[in-house]
């Protein structure tokens, strides 16, 4: 196994000598979290270090410029683009000032239905409702569509397991079903439906502020952040198109790029990609790990997730990003 791994890496390095590649970095949050069960947050200190390293060692481009370079078959050396998914409030409060300080551009993919809401994203709600309270009932009984689920929740470990299992159950559900489940959870735990202020999405004013800066480009991310592959063709088209229209109406500028919610190969299909193209987007990003090469399908671009790494580890990982190709 080790020998075959070394051979694959050597082949990747040889290919890179003849076929330039780029990396599209994927972030979600820049903030300090006491709990981060989904590993979505990079601390502001580490993000600042990562940006400084990128500025020194890479050609950091707006995503739309990188897409045009791919089309023109003219990627610059060590090309990289910075992207954020979802549109958390800390994208404005923490990430944006650091991007501005270094002069590095980024694209933020925003779920338009979350703007100006007092609620959290549903996956954060699960943690807030199930795992965060000091005390909850000892059993969780939840009905999702025509099926009843039950988990013990007496201990910290049981609550964490229930949260993971429920995340898997709700991930592919329709938006209305998902919302009904969260409402049931709130009643079960005796907590409010409104979320924590620092877990909310951008406000309209914050979105407009950062979108007015040429460093920041806003991309589409649907209205309600569903797993598109679980929806009908008509439902997918509505999420994709209406999400774009809502952002364009708010910002008065075209929305040119898109990111599939969740973005794994089970969350979108060739039909989904065709709908994104038909909606007028120039390209779409997945969360499938890997680098980007000239000739890649612009509607299934790979990205490389960045975690809460210090400068040294980030530098090490960045080199592997430039050769990563599953």
Render each residue's pLDDT in the chain as its tens digit; 326 residues: 455 555 555 454 445 444 568 999 999 999 999 999 999 999 999 999 999 999 999 999 999 999 999 999 999 999 999 999 999 999 999 999 999 999 999 999 999 999 999 999 999 999 999 999 999 999 999 999 989 999 999 999 999 999 999 999 999 999 999 999 999 999 999 999 999 999 999 999 999 999 999 999 999 999 999 999 999 999 999 999 999 999 999 999 999 999 999 999 999 999 999 999 999 999 999 999 999 999 999 999 999 999 999 999 999 999 988 875 54
- What is the per-residue burial (b if ≥16 Cβ within 10 Å, else e) of 275-313? bbbebebbbbbbbbebbbbeebebbbbbbbbbebbeeee
Radius of gyration of the chain (CA): 20
User: What local confidence, expressed as pLDDT, does residue 322 receive?
Assistant: 82
Residue 248 phi/psi, 5-degree rounding, is: -65, -35
The distance between the two most distant Cα atoms of the chain, rounded to a whole number of Å, is: 60
Cβ contact 250:208 at 8 Å: yes
User: What local confidence, expressed as pLDDT, does residue 323 receive?
Assistant: 72
Extents of the domains making up the chain: 2-116+203-321, 122-189
Cβ contact 28:84 at 8 Å: yes
Tokens of 172: 């592919």
User: What local confidence, expressed as pLDDT, does residue 2 receive?
Assistant: 53
What number of other Cβ atoms are within 10 A of residue 204's Cβ?
11
User: What local confidence, expressed as pLDDT, does residue 16 receive?
Assistant: 47
User: What local confidence, expressed as pLDDT, does residue 115 receive?
Assistant: 97
Cβ contact 99:215 at 8 Å: yes
- What is the per-residue burial (b if ≥16 Cβ within 10 Å, else e) of 7-24? eeeeebeeeeeeebbbbb
Cβ contact 282:298 at 8 Å: yes
Q: What pTM, to 2 d.p., does this model score? A: 0.93
- Alpha carbon distance 279, 275 (integer Å): 6
- The CATH number of the domain covering residues in 2-116+203-321: 3.20.20.370
């Amino acid at each position: 196994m080790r020998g075959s791994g070394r051979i694959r890496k050597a082949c990747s390095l040889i290919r890179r000598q003849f076929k330039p590649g780029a990396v599209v970095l994927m972030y979600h949050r820049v903030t300090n979290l006491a709990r981060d069960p989904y590993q979505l947050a990079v601390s502001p200190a580490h993000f600042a270090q990562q940006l400084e390293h990128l500025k020194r060692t890479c050609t950091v481009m707006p995503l739309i410029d990188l897409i045009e370079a791919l089309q023109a078959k003219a990627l610059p050396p060590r090309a990289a683009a910075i992207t954020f998914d979802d549109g958390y409030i800390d994208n404005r409060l923490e990430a944006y000032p650091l991007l501005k300080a270094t002069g590095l551009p980024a694209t933020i993919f925003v779920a338009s239905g979350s703007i100006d809401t007092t609620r959290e994203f549903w996956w954060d709600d699960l943690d807030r409702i199930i795992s965060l309270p000091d005390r909850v009932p000892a059993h969780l009984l939840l009905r999702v569509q025509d099926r009843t689920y039950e988990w013990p929740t007496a201990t910290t470990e049981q609550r964490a397991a229930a949260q993971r299992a429920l995340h898997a159950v709700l991930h592919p559900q329709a938006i209305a079903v998902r919302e009904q489940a969260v409402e049931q959870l709130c009643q079960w735990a005796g907590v409010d439906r409104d979320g924590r202020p620092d877990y909310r999405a951008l406000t309209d004013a914050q979105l407009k502020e950062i979108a007015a800066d040429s460093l920041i480009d806003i991309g589409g991310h649907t209205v309600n952040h569903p797993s598109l592959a679980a929806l009908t063709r008509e439902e997918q088209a509505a999420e994709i198109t209406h999400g774009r229209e809502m952002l364009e109406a708010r910002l008065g500028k075209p929305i040119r790029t898109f990111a599939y919610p969740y973005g794994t190969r089970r969350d979108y299909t060739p039909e989904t990609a065709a709908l994104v193209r038909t909606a007028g987007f120039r390209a779409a990003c997945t969360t499938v790990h890997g680098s980007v090469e000239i000739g890649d399908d612009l509607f299934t671009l790979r990205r490389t997730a960045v975690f809460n790494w210090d400068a040294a580890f980030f530098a090490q990982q960045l080199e592997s990003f430039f050769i990563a190709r599953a």
